[in-house]
Structure 1
Amino acid sequence: MHHYKASWLLTITIHHYHFFYYPDVAVSGDERDRNTAEDFIRYPRLIGEVLSPTTAALDRSDKFADYRTSESLQEYVINQSRKS
């Protein structure tokens, strides 16, 4: 049986610097995330973002570049929001 952890807070470490993000969804199935009391994910398997006019450029550029440094990341899903 697989156990997953979901959180609103994600940390990405690049060259010993920690960057904290609040993606719309982040899911980890990594044992290191399950066996910790931390309220954030270090080893995301999936990250999802809903794009809006104010976040789209950042979500597609700098944040995506940082997310790609995570060796555990398997899927990055972006969804363009629609105005009604």
Structure 2
Amino acid sequence: MSTPGTLHSWVSRWCRNGSASSDRPAEPAQVERMRESERAELERLRREMSEKNKRIRELEMERDVLKRCMVLWVK
């Protein structure tokens, strides 16, 4: 059975080393290394998300304008 101290120790190691099972730091090259294809895919997905968020904002503005028009038309 684990004690709260054990959990604290694991969390501390994870924050310090990137691994709960080892007291020595993980190799920086392994932790931060991203293949060029992964980096390109991440960049593409970020661009795509940005475009979609822009389109969502445009559609929300159009919806708000139509709501206002309906209020004026009903009166």
TM-score range, shorter chain: under 0.3
Between 1 and 2, higher relative CO (CA 8 Å, sep ≥ 6) is seen in 1
Larger relative helix fraction: 2
Larger relative strand fraction: 1
TM-score, reference length from structure 2? 0.21
TM-score, reference length from structure 1? 0.19
